[in-house]
Amino acid sequence: MTGPAAGPSITVRFALPREELRPFVTTYYYTEARCSKREPVLEDYLHPEWPNLRFIAANPCESAIGAEDLRPVPAFAATGPTSRPTRFRLGSGRMWGIGLMPLGWAALVEAQAGDYADRFVDGEADPAFAAFHPLARELAGGETGFAEGLALIEAHMDRVLAAREAGRAADHAAIRAVNAALVDPELASVAELAERVGMNVRSLERLARRAFGFTPKLLLRRQRFLRSLAQFMLDPSLKWLEALDCQYHDQAHFVRDFKRFMGMNPSVYARLDKPFLVAAARARMEIAGAAVQGLHRPESSS
């Protein structure tokens, strides 16, 4: 299932994985940028997300997470879970992406998510992402349209997940339980989360660092923020008060979180051009029922 969305000079298309793969993968996505002499690059800010693997054929492509300086992005960029804004500049070209659920990271990446939190690396040079090295070479091997590239990705994901999933059922169940609890808007505290998933807080913290990248407390705070941001992205005519999640006590509470997760005031963000994010949020919502990656539900075919 796929769907297009177009901005002034950018096109974004999303596709859902097969049902059996949805606990591991949020979406596959394809971005094509067409810039001009007057506007040689597009610039935008990504909100906090789960991990993403991006295969890039665009020049220039630069990015920075949080307060770091912009730097060139490798052709295979592996980004861990983020709790800071990701600023990026993209020239004409194309990019494929795979959004990983926490379970996808745990099953396919040979490293703790916490070790890659709020940073991106050259996936081709990092052995933790060895499962994706053949795919990176295939996608870089020539011009592929949406259908051809998607077929390559789907076939590769089927192969690597079939090879990795055996023997981890208990571990997978715990990660999925935590993920399912995190997307429940009624969940408000770490104690409630631990009780919901039947774990003590210390065990929950270890699991959170390994598969989710952050402490349970920060994860709950991030989810609350993303629910509010998603409402605004789908309808920018809303006032921030109208978009606030029910867990916020007041607007000042929300503003503190906004500065923490986006590095700026909500009013500054509202005035920014968002050539990628607005198109992506609407396309993702139409295809997956969630405007931002962090709100995807860890559902399966069962």
224 Cβ contact partners less than 8 Å away, ≥ 6 residues apart: 245, 247, 248, 257
Question: CA dist 110 to 102, 138, 205, 232, Å?
Answer: 13, 21, 19, 36
Among 82, 3, 6, 20, residue whose Cα is nearest residue 48 = 82
For 144-161, what is the mean pLDDT? 92
For 34-63, what is the mean pLDDT? 92
> What confidence tens digit (pLDDT) does each residue in 220-265 have?
999 999 988 888 878 777 777 777 888 888 889 999 999 999 999 9
Say if residues 191 and 185 touch (Cβ distance below 8 Å).
Answer: no
pTM of the model: 0.92
Q: Where are the domains of the chain?
A: 2-166, 169-271
What residues are paired with 56 via a beta bridge? 95
Q: How many residues does the chain have?
A: 302
> What confidence tens digit (pLDDT) does each residue in 50-90 have?
999 999 999 899 999 999 999 999 999 999 999 999 999 99
Question: CA dist 269 to 119, 229, 240, Å?
Answer: 22, 11, 11
d(CA 27, CA 97): 8
> What confidence tens digit (pLDDT) does each residue in 278-298 have?
788 888 888 888 889 999 988
For 2-24, what is the mean pLDDT? 77
Please list the alpha-helical segments (H only) found in the chain: 102-108, 133-140, 146-164, 169-182, 190-197, 201-207, 216-234, 240-243, 251-262, 266-271, 277-288
Burial of 35 by CB count in 10 Å (0-12 exposed, 13-18 middle, 19+ buried)?
middle
Question: CA dist 271 to 111, 255, 267, Å?
Answer: 38, 16, 7
Give residue 10's pLDDT band: very low, low, confident or very high (50, 70, 90).
confident
176 Cβ contact partners less than 8 Å away, ≥ 6 residues apart: 23, 103, 298, 300
Question: Which amino acid is located at 149 in the chain?
Answer: G
Say if residues 31 and 91 touch (Cβ distance below 8 Å).
Answer: no
User: In the block, which residue shows the tokens 């169940």?
Assistant: 173
Q: Do domains 2-166 and 169-271 have the same CATH topology?
A: no
> Of all residues in the chain, what percent carry a pLDDT higher than 90?
67
Six token digits for residue 15: 């596709």
> What confidence tens digit (pLDDT) does each residue in 174-211 have?
999 999 999 999 999 999 999 999 999 999 999 999 99
Give the class (CATH, top level) of 169-271: mainly alpha
Q: Which fold has domain 2-166?
A: Jelly Rolls (2.60.120)
d(CA 255, CA 243): 12
